[in-house]
Amino acid sequence: MAFESLTEREKAILQSLIDYYIAMATPVGSRVIANKYKLGISPATIRNTMQDLEEMGLISHPHTSAGRIPTDKGYRVYVDTLLEPEELTYFEEEQIKSEILVDYAAVEDLLEQTSRVLANVSNQLGITIAPRFDQGILTRINLIPVAEKKILVVLAVKHGLVKSVLLEAESNVKTEALDKAANILNERLCGLTLGEIKNSMEQRLKDDSTADPKLIKLFLDSSENLLNFPETEQLHLGGTTNIVDQPEFKDREKLKSLIELIEEKKLLAELVSAKGIRDGITITIGKEIERGEMQYCSLVTSSYRAGKVSGTIGIIGPTRMRYAKLISLVDYTAKLLSEILSK
Amino acid sequence: MAFESLTEREKAILQSLIDYYIAMATPVGSRVIANKYKLGISPATIRNTMQDLEEMGLISHPHTSAGRIPTDKGYRVYVDTLLEPEELTYFEEEQIKSEILVDYAAVEDLLEQTSRVLANVSNQLGITIAPRFDQGILTRINLIPVAEKKILVVLAVKHGLVKSVLLEAESNVKTEALDKAANILNERLCGLTLGEIKNSMEQRLKDDSTADPKLIKLFLDSSENLLNFPETEQLHLGGTTNIVDQPEFKDREKLKSLIELIEEKKLLAELVSAKGIRDGITITIGKEIERGEMQYCSLVTSSYRAGKVSGTIGIIGPTRMRYAKLISLVDYTAKLLSEILSK
DNA sequence: CATTAGCACTTTGAATGCAAGAGTGCTAAC
DNA sequence: GTTAGCACTCTTGCATTCAAAGTGCTAATG
């Protein structure tokens, strides 16, 4: 739809209305707009324009004789054409830096911390997802005997990311046999991305004769397990309590279904990375998110890079959120994170 | 206090009252007890006894002319002397078995799943904590070069438990040097418990000459990091939504502070394992838990073993919980878990 | 003398009605 | 095209009422 066709007045009113609504969380009437924003027109005129906006589906009435509130579509227009990003304050930037730039033992910790910072600054739910391993370049495979019949496979990927998976062998395996197999695997697979390995592993390993074929077979059979990285554990959330306070979740049922979703991290991860990795900020509003539990939420996400691989960070909150600010926040944080991880 | 000194009648009434209150979540009056439980005495008599119980601090009045509700102390007496465990139904046992006895790739997954089962069956919050590594016997150390200057240390402990920590070296380290160091470490530390290692590592490694001293030093310096296992990541929670529904958390603030605690997994883990590992069921009621956020909650926990190490599982819910049932549930599940992990 | 019936009293919670406030939508005037 | 004015609607808060639940005491009872 060509929303550039909105008149200047319509734009101004829509913007004022949404700004006010975001700040106050209460339906906004014509009088408020006339008073707070000096548009030089009377409440009556504003009312007329508001009727037009309502017909276009950008705002709506909770009931006769309450003020208007934005619809998802209204937010969409606001975000796409009206909003002017609100820069982070010096203080906020310093806060983010100081809280993220601490020593971290593993990338996991860094991401956990980042999710908290996002939550604190935004007063919403902060979310971080570890880089997708697919594009990561394998630097080394290790096979470690952990217990009888149990082998730990450690996949090390460039830039400090590590994934370990436990495999169960059919029979006891000797350490030497493991070492031999590991050698072959390293020889033939290192330097490739995990995605490439997943596709071509069978080819690359078939004509070997030095390693125990049983082991190689086990390895191949487990490729699903090894190379399919469920996003489950890689997701970090901070600030769950923030949403408990939001007026939009006064309704118990809504709160419950959202918390349920939060606990189902797998689903959530899929949802957040659904849009795929792309540069810059992505905003998804209300029903645009394909999940009933989140129909009253919006998502502001961005991707970050760690060498060749990239992950996603973002913020989840009610559709009534401070987009102007949060865009800056997510953007700044994503860039900072990329910087840290690429050094 | 000698609560064995309660008369038979007082016991019967206290028990009936608590049973009823647990089931209905509403203050219970003398008439209800007279009707529902055939004690052969009239409401008036019950009222008199109830006054006595109140004086002893076992039950209380929300206000004049509401029924009585149990106090923490009342629950204590109930749990210690009155309650008769309610066995799990055949159906429930089957459910637990079928949901826990699935293939699992890592112990983590098993525990995650267990926390869910606990939550589902109890309709409360299920919690599992991974075994404390301290008592675990080290089976192997691996040093893996992950990136320039970055070394992944993998500690494998008996019974399929694995812990990996990333170390940062001061300068680039050659693979051969790493292998050499790993050999020494394995030679001198395998077969010991991690606790022993923590205490005596310095002794055991000092007189070595074959490995790069810088590496050994790095290893020693990082011992805190390596051998101090924060319980943070090892805690699994299931069923957060269950508590949202509990009438005791209708108050927003209470709910919020509890969710906050849940997010602070570290704190929660400390709290739950505070009682230390002991055999059998441990029950902690209301204010007995030393944390304001949980003053309206109770904890039913038990430990499980995985070879030489043990961890904790349990249930968190409002003090008004079905102790009789939950005790059986936690007990059964802990034993099942021990069985699985010791096979 | 422990038990119980009876009754006055208290408190809650749900239902009701009412008035104030906020805001719209229309019409007619500017 | 814009605005003032006004009737109308819907929500919200508040006070009132009323029944229900339950106690605590007193006096009667076996």
Question: Residue A314's beta-bridge partner residues?
Answer: A127, A301
- Selection from B314, B258, B318 nearest residue B291 by Cα: B258
Q: What is the pLDDT, as a whole number, of residue A4?
A: 54
**Any idea what the Cα angle at residue B288 is, between residues B285 and B292, rounded to 5°?**
100
A7 touches strand D (CB under 7 A): no
Q: What is the pLDDT, as a whole number, of residue B295?
A: 93
Range of weakest confidence among A301-310, B310-319, B330-339 = A301-310
Please list, in sequence order, all residues whose beta carbon lies within 8 angstroms of the beta carbon of residue B22, skipping any fewer than 6 positions away: B320, B321, B322, B323
- Selection from A285, A167, A258 nearest residue A218 by Cα: A167
Chain B CA closest to residue A256: B241
B324 touches strand C (CB under 7 A): no
What does pLDDT average to over chain B? 88
Distance B235 CA to D9 C1' (A): 55
Distance B250 CA to C15 C1' (A): 23
Amino acid at B92: E
pLDDT in tens, B242-290: 999 898 998 888 899 899 888 888 888 888 887 767 788 999 999 999 8
What is the distance between the alpha carbons of residues A106 and B122, in angstroms, rounded to a whole number?
A: 35
B51 touches strand D (CB under 7 A): yes
B interface residues, A as partner, C-beta within 8 Å: 105-106, 108, 139-140, 142, 144-147, 150, 152, 154, 156, 158-160, 162, 164-166, 225, 233, 237-241, 244-245, 252, 255-256, 259-260, 262-263
Q: For the beta carbon of residue B21, count every other beta carbon within 10 angstroms.
A: 21
Answer yes or no: do A160 and B166 touch at CB < 8 A: yes
Nearest to B147 among A106, A152, A160 (CB): A160
Distance A248 CA to C25 C1' (A): 28
Q: What is the pLDDT, as a whole number, of residue B225?
A: 73
Q: Position of tokens 């940062």?
A: B168
Listed in sequence order, the DSSP H helices in B72-155 are 72-77, 90-100, 107-122
Contacts of A241 in chain B (CB under 8 A): 256, 259-260, 263
Is residue B231 scored above 70 in pLDDT?
A: no
Q: For the beta carbon of residue A10, count every other beta carbon within 10 angstroms.
A: 18
* Percentage with pLDDT > 90 across chain B: 49
Answer yes or no: do B106 and A166 touch at CB < 8 A: yes
A159 touches strand C (CB under 7 A): no
Is residue B156 scored above 70 in pLDDT?
A: yes
What is the distance between the alpha carbons of residues B8 and A143, in angstroms, rounded to a whole number?
A: 65
Answer yes or no: do B260 and A245 touch at CB < 8 A: no
Q: What is the pLDDT, as a whole number, of residue A207?
A: 79
Q: Which nucleotides of chain C have an atom under 7 angstroms from any protein CB? A: 3-6, 9-12, 21-27
Answer yes or no: CATH 3.30.565.10 is held by domain B134-227.
no
pLDDT in tens, B25-56: 999 999 999 998 888 899 999 999 999 999 99
Q: For the beta carbon of residue A206, count every other beta carbon within 10 angstroms.
A: 10
Answer yes or no: do A166 and B160 touch at CB < 8 A: yes
CATH fold, domain A3-82, is: Arc Repressor Mutant, subunit A (1.10.10)
Q: What is the pLDDT, as a whole number, of residue B172?
A: 83
Q: What is the pLDDT, as a whole number, of residue A201?
A: 86
Q: What is the pLDDT, as a whole number, of residue A327?
A: 98
- How far are the Cα atoms of B20, B27, B60, B61 from residue B64, in angstroms, in the given order? 20, 12, 10, 7
Answer yes or no: do A150 and B160 touch at CB < 8 A: yes
Amino acid at B242: N
Q: For the beta carbon of residue A304, count every other beta carbon within 10 angstroms.
A: 26
Q: What pTM did the predictor assign? A: 0.86
Exposed / middle / buried, residue A224 (Cβ in 10 Å: 0-12, 13-18, 19+): exposed
Q: What is the pLDDT, as a whole number, of residue A1?
A: 52
Rounded to the nearest angstrom, the minimum Cα separation between B343 and chain A is 11
Q: What is the pLDDT, as a whole number, of residue A217?
A: 86
Residue in B109, B133, B154 to test binding to A, most A beta-carbons within 10 Å: B154
Contacts of B106 in chain A (CB under 8 A): 165-166
Question: Residue B4's beta-bridge partner residues?
Answer: none
Rounded to the nearest angstrom, the minimum Cα separation between A141 and chain B is 9
Edge-to-edge strands, sheet with B235-238: B235-238, B125-129, B309-318, B297-306, B282-285
What is the distance between the alpha carbons of residues A140 and A154, in angstroms, rounded to a whole number?
A: 8
Q: Which CATH superfamily is domain A90-132+235-342 in?
A: GAF domain (3.30.450.40)
Would you kindly state where each structural domain of chain B is located, as residue ranges? 3-82, 90-132+235-342, 134-227
Going residue by residue through chain A (343 aa), what tens digit of pLDDT does each one get?
555 589 999 999 999 999 999 999 999 999 999 988 888 899 999 999 999 999 999 999 988 889 999 999 999 999 999 999 999 999 999 999 999 988 776 788 899 999 999 999 999 999 999 887 777 888 888 887 777 777 888 888 876 677 777 788 888 888 888 888 888 899 999 988 888 888 888 888 887 778 888 888 888 888 877 777 665 557 899 999 999 989 899 888 889 989 988 888 888 888 888 776 778 899 999 999 989 999 999 999 999 988 778 889 999 999 999 999 999 999 999 999 999 988 7
Radius of gyration in angstroms for the set of CA atoms belonging to chain A, rounded to a whole number: 25
CB pairs under 8 A between A and B: 102
A51 touches strand C (CB under 7 A): yes
Taking CB atoms within 8 Å and a gap of at least 24, the contacts of A267-275 are A267/A291, A268/A127, A268/A235, A268/A237, A269/A129, A269/A231, A269/A232, A269/A234, A269/A235, A270/A231, A271/A299, A272/A127, A272/A129, A272/A235, A272/A299, A272/A301, A272/A312, A272/A314, A272/A316, A273/A129, A273/A132, A273/A231, A273/A312, A275/A301
pLDDT average, residue stretch B174-179: 85
Residue in A127, A137, A157, A162 to test binding to B, most B beta-carbons within 10 Å: A162
